[in-house]
Amino acid sequence: MNVGRFIIRISLFILIPLLIALVTYRFLDRAFLAPLDHTKKNAVLVEITEGRTIKSLSQELQQRSVLRHWWTLWFLATISDKANKIQACEYQVSAAMTPKEILRKLTSGDVFKHTVSLKEGETISDIAKAVERAELISASEFLRGARDRALLATANMKSDSFEGYLFPDTYYFCRPATVKDIIWRMLKEGDKHWPPAFTEQADKLNLSRQEILTMASMIEKESSNYEEQPLIASVLHNRLAKGMKLQSDPTVIYGMENFDGNLRPEDRDMLHPYNTYVNYGLPPGPISNPGDTAIRAALFPKETTYLYFVAKGDGNHVFSTTYQEQLVAVELYQPGRAAGMPPPEVIATPAPIAPPTPMPTPAISGKATYSISPKQRR
């Protein structure tokens, strides 16, 4: 046998498998261990909905130039049994990540969240715009949900909307999110800020949670000065106790369909349920969503004899006990307005507030649960 041919055959016998192994290794290394483009670190946002398959997700990532081969992520997720550990949400991935790194990201809970920041005194219309800016749902969809009677009934609320109950805070939401997910998160936060001591104090005042939140929403709109809010509250409580109209400009504005930023004297004569210049007592519901300080002020007002206040124009107010003192203050800080002020009221004896009827705790299905205070009523 020719020795040279024997050596060649042996060499080929050894080298061909080695070459195949090397090519296979390089292919698998490139497929599984190397990113598509290590220089391309810009984030790609991918949304995973309930019930989506890992195959569908992997194919999308290949189509969006994040993965070289879709089956690499599918294979890793399948053999490691991690496909069912991926939470429905949004994730930021990039072409600079390997399939293994992408899988680790998807199963670590490192989700992308949308921020919604609510300020004290904002209305459901303001919140709707904030939710839309966060690209969660449209403003119109949020407003429909905030006034949805079925959703209100689910929360065991008898209001016309969730106004007043959506607690001001910074929230982080994961898409996809429904209007119920968003509202329920804010309701739950509001419940955390209404301890049993608040219910006890509301009982002492013979007011329901709804009425306290309504007053707090007015306080929030009248003044953002935390130190003054208990004084604003004292004026409202004192006027209610004496049977006087509350005469609060923010309540007039809340009931106007197209407020242009300029409140005119004739606007205070408009006939709508929220106008406290023409109606006695509190408005039918909150006019904004108050924060902690305004709620506390409504529950624990300063003890004063004040019945009036006027804005100084610097964020502070001047408080008065008599109508004559109020006229002087108005002329000093808002010249010309005193002539258009309503005449002093004849103080009437207020009708007693009927005790509230306890309401059952609701059972809510879905991602969140929420229970309304027994003092909830219109």
Determine which of 1-10, 199-208, 359-368 has the lowest per-residue pLDDT on average.
359-368
pLDDT in tens, 137-164: 999 999 999 999 999 999 999 899 999 9
Give me the domains of the chain, ranges plus CATH numbers. Answer: 30-107 (3.30.1490.480), 114-192 (3.30.1490), 196-340 (no CATH)
What pLDDT is recorded for position 1?
Answer: 53
| pLDDT at residue 84, as a whole number | 86
pLDDT band for 355, please (50, 70, 90 cuts). Answer: very low
Helix or strand (DSSP H, E) at 41:
none
What is the enclosing helix (H) or strand (E) of 61? helix 54-63
φ, ψ dihedrals at 317, nearest 5°: -130, 160
Angle at 284 (CA atoms; ends 170, 159), nearest 5 degrees: 60
**In this structure, what DSSP letter does residue 205 have?**
T
Half-sphere exposure (CA, 13 Å, Cβ side) for 233? Answer: 27
Using 50, 70 and 90 to split pLDDT, how confident is the model at 34?
confident
pLDDT at 33: 65
Weakest-pLDDT range from 72-81, 111-120, 265-274, 342-351: 342-351
Mean pLDDT of the chain: 85
Task: Answer whether residue 374 shows pLDDT above 60.
Answer: no
Residue 225 phi, psi (nearest 5): -80, 110
Check residues 12 and 129 and name the one with the higher pLDDT: 129
Q: Over range 103-116, report the average pLDDT.
A: 93
Position 37 pLDDT exceeds 90:
no
Q: What is the pLDDT of residue 240?
A: 97
pLDDT value, residue 20: 61
Is residue 300 pLDDT above 70, yes or no?
yes
Helix or strand holding residue 277 (H, E): none
What does DSSP assign to residue 98?
Answer: -
**Which residues face 318 on adjacent strands?**
310
| Mean pLDDT in residue range 324-351 | 72
State the amino acid at position 96 in one-letter form.
A
* 250 prior amide bond cis, ω within 30: no
Distances (CA, A) of 318 to 12, 219, 223: 100, 15, 12
Residue 340: pLDDT above 70? no
Return the closest-CA partner of residue 146 out of 169, 113, 123: 123
pLDDT at site 41: 83
Given pLDDT bands bounded at 50, 70 and 90, which one contains residue 69? confident
Segment among 211-225, 226-240, 343-357 with least mean pLDDT:
343-357
Share of the chain above pLDDT 70, in %: 81
CA angle, 35 as apex, 33 and 41 as ends, to 5°?
145
- Tokens 């999110």 appear where? 177
- Between these two residues, 21 and 210, which has the higher pLDDT value? 210
- Cα gap 190→184, rounded to integer Å: 10
CB 362 within 8 A of CB 371: yes
What SS3 class is residue 25?
helix
C-beta of residue 334 within 8 angstroms of C-beta of residue 319: no
**What per-residue confidence (pLDDT) applies to 345?**
66
